[in-house]
Amino acid sequence: MAKRTSKDPAERRQEFLDAAERLFLTKGYENTSISDIVEAVGVAHGLFYYYFCSKDEIVDGIVSRNLSVFEERLSSIVEADELSSLEKMRRMYLASYEFKKGRSGFITYVNAQEQHLLLRSSLRKRVYEHILPSFAQIVRQGNEEGVFDVSYPEETAYVIFSLSDLFDMESEQFDAEALKRRFYAIMDIMEHLLGTKKGTLLALFDDMVQDLDGLMEEAVDQYRLQKEDANKEV
C-alpha cells in the first residue's frame, strides 16, 4: 500500500480549491460531486470535511480566492489620503480591468454558462459585500470635494455596480461596436448618477478611450473563444 503524503494544511486546502474550481467550470456545479473533488485531489473522502463543510462552502472559497488580491489592491487605493476621489475611481476601474484580464478564464467561464449560476451568484454577493462599500466611500469623498452631488452614496454605488450587467455578452449578435456603445452609455449614466459635469468620466479614462476599439474587440474575441471551450467541455 502506497504511503499517504502528508502536506501543509494551507497547501492541501489550495489543492481542494484548484480541483473544485476546475471541475465546476468544466462539469458544472450540479454535476460535480464531493467524491469527484476528492478523487481529483487523490486523498481520503473524509479529509474534504476537515477543510470544508459542503460544496457551497468550497464555492465561497473559490470566489474568495479569486477576489482577495483585487480587494487588497482596492483597499490600498481607498485608504490613500493623498488621492482625489476622481483619481481613486480611475485607479479602481483600472485595477478591476487588470483583475478581470488576469483572471479571464474564471470570469468568462462563470459568465458563459447557465450551469455556473451558483458561482456567479456567489461572486456577485462577494462584490456587493466587500467592494461596493469601498466605492461608496469614494463617492462620499467626492461629495466632500464638491466633485459629486449624491444624496444617497451607498444606494448610488449599488446602482452603478448594477450597470455592469450591460456588459453581459449573452447574445450571439454581440459585437465590439455594441460593447463600445454600452461603454459610452455607462459613462453617461454614471455622470448623471454622480451629479458631475458631463465629460468628467470620459476625461478620467482618456487612455482607455483612446484604445477603446481594440479593447472591445479583444473582450468579444476572448469571450467567444472561452465560450466555445466551455461548450466543448460540458
Residue with cell 472559497: 61
Please check whether residues 49 and 71 belong to one and the same domain: no
Distance set, CA 86 to CA 39, 146, 156, 177, 190 (Å)? 49, 11, 16, 27, 13
Please check whether residues 46 and 75 belong to one and the same domain: no
CATH at residue 31: 1.10.10.60
Q: Please tell me the predicted confidence (pLDDT) of residue 141.
A: 97
Separation between Cα atoms, residue 159 and residue 50, nearest integer Å: 39
Residue 68 lies in a domain: yes
Among 51-55, 67-71, 215-219, top mean pLDDT goes to: 51-55
Give the pLDDT mean for 126-155: 92
DSSP 143-184: HHHTS---S-HHHHHHHHHHGGGGG----TT--HHHHHHHHH
Calculate the CA 141 to chain-centre distance: 24
Residue 5 lies in a domain: yes
Query: Please, which pLDDT band fits residue 2 given cuts at 50, 70 and 90?
Result: very low
Range of the domain at 205: 63-233
Number of domains forming the structure of the chain: 2
Among 175-179, 181-185, 203-207, top mean pLDDT goes to: 181-185
Separation between Cα atoms, residue 17 and residue 201, nearest integer Å: 38
119 with 62: CB under 8 angstroms?
yes
Residue 58 lies in a domain: no
Separation between Cα atoms, residue 73 and residue 216, nearest integer Å: 24
Please check whether residues 133 and 201 belong to one and the same domain: yes
183 with 212: CB under 8 angstroms?
yes
In tens, the pLDDT along 3-14 reads 456 678 889 999
Residue with cell 481594440: 214
Residue with cell 463543510: 53
Q: Please tell me the predicted confidence (pLDDT) of residue 1.
A: 35
